């Protein structure tokens, strides 16, 4: 089945209403051009460093503006809308970095909470402690949609190949990686990581990205990508600013790629031996 898919590149600010309006504009443009699935970036609803200010605008998933708007969009446009993620208030008082998929009837099909927290210190002095505010998810997830099986990840998850392999082994044909990659890490690793995840798993990868200088002062890398199972970039967004990044994908390519390189079938269990250090002039077995 050949379908059109779209990654909606954004530069989310601190006002959820403005960000929702941008999502609506881009999704309508993508649907008008034939997309049946659209994906937004990580933290579509708001990007803000001030955690207290973020908590002040948080809602649970039933009252969240981005989720409600995405549901209405999916019904209006008769498409699948994937909110890459947005901040959601959990019943226990913590925050979830949560993605949503809504079907053409506007019903929520599934959610996914980001599993791996971005706790890093970068060379340029930036320091991030996502775990200080967000509760990590515990469940990998795939969903069987009319056009294919989607596997879920969010941003920093891309650095953990076992997540993607688990989803591919369970049948995922399209791997999704909505993100808000920093400019520094994006310049170094964005393309190679996403292409590697596609090649390793013989799957399409769709990665909608945040892009540009945000109101809170952070800078994200952009370059939203749609990649085929052979690692070829089918479509790419700009470094800065909003964009609708679209491509036609044919799931027959997944089957063909996995037949050429059947590494999902060829994997084997193995033991790991850790050998002692060699004594000077000695040997080990």
Do 203 and 174 form a contact (C-beta atoms < 8 A)? yes
Q: Reduce the DSSP state of residue 284 to 3 states and report it.
A: coil
Q: How confident is the model at residue 277 (pLDDT cuts 50, 70, 90)?
A: confident
Q: What is the pLDDT of residue 178?
A: 98
152 pLDDT higher than 80: yes
Question: Which pTM value belongs to this model?
Answer: 0.94
Q: What is the pLDDT of residue 54?
A: 86
247 pLDDT higher than 90: yes
Task: State the residue for tokens 């970039």.
Answer: 233
**Other beta carbons less than 10 A from residue 70's beta carbon:** 27
- Could you confirm whether 219 is annotated as catalytic? no
| Alpha carbon distance 182, 184 (integer Å) | 5
Query: Active site residue: 4, 11, 155, 173, which one?
Result: 155
- Could you confirm whether 42 is annotated as catalytic? yes
Q: What is the pLDDT of residue 266?
A: 96
What does the block give as tokens for 197?
């995840």
- Could you confirm whether 61 is annotated as catalytic? no
Do 151 and 168 form a contact (C-beta atoms < 8 A)? yes
Q: How confident is the model at residue 132 (pLDDT cuts 50, 70, 90)?
A: confident
**Other beta carbons less than 10 A from residue 164's beta carbon:** 25
Average pLDDT, the chain: 94
| Alpha carbon distance 72, 68 (integer Å) | 6
Query: Active site residue: 42, 173, 200, 236, which one?
Result: 42
> Please, how many CA atoms are within 13 Å of residue 266, restricted to the half-sphere of its CB?
8
User: CB-based contacts of 237: which residues, under 8 Å, 6+ apart?
Assistant: 7, 9, 209, 211, 222, 223, 224, 225, 243, 245
Which one, of 200, 173, 206, lies nearest residue 84 by Cα? Answer: 206
Query: Active site residue: 4, 11, 114, 149, which one?
Result: 114
User: CB-based contacts of 251: which residues, under 8 Å, 6+ apart?
Assistant: 1, 147, 148, 173, 174, 204
Domains and their CATH numbers in the chain: 2-260 (3.60.110.10)
Whole-number percent of the chain with pLDDT over 70: 95
User: Over the stretch 38-67, which tens digit does the pLDDT of each residue have?
Assistant: 999 999 999 988 888 888 999 999 999 999
Q: What is the pLDDT of residue 127?
A: 64
Q: What is the pLDDT of residue 52?
A: 84
């Amino acid at each position: 089945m050949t379908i059109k898919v779209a990654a909606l590149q954004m530069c989310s600010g601190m006002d959820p209403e403005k960000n929702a309006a941008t999502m609506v504009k881009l999704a309508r443009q993508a649907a008008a051009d034939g997309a049946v699935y659209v994906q937004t970036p990580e933290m579509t609803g708001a990007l803000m460093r001030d955690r207290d200010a973020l908590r002040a605008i948080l809602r649970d998933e039933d009252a969240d503006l981005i989720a409600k708007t995405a549901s209405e969009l999916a019904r209006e446009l008769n498409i699948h809308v994937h909110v890459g993620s947005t901040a959601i208030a959990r019943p226990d008082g913590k925050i979830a970095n949560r993605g949503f998929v809504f079907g053409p009837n506007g019903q929520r099909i599934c959610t996914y909470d980001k599993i791996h927290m971005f706790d890093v210190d970068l060379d340029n002095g930036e320091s991030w402690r996502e775990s200080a505010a967000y509760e990590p998810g515990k469940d990998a997830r795939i969903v069987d949609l009319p056009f294919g099986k989607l596997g879920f990840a969010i941003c920093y998850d891309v650095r953990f190949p076992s997540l993607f392999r688990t989803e591919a082994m369970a049948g995922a044909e399209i791997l999704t990686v909505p993100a808000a990659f920093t400019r520094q890490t994006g310049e170094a690793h964005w393309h190679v990581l996403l292409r590697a995840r596609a090649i390793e798993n013989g799957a399409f990868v769709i990665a909608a990205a945040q892009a540009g200088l945000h109101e809170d002062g952070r800078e994200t890398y952009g370059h939203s990508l749609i990649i085929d199972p052979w690692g070829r970039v089918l479509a790419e967004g700009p470094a800065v600013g909003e964009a609708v990044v679209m491509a036609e994908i044919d799931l027959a390519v997944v089957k063909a790629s996995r037949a050429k390189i059947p590494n999902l079938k060829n994997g084997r269990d193995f033991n790991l031996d850790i050998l002692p250090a060699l004594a000077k002039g000695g040997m080990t077995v």
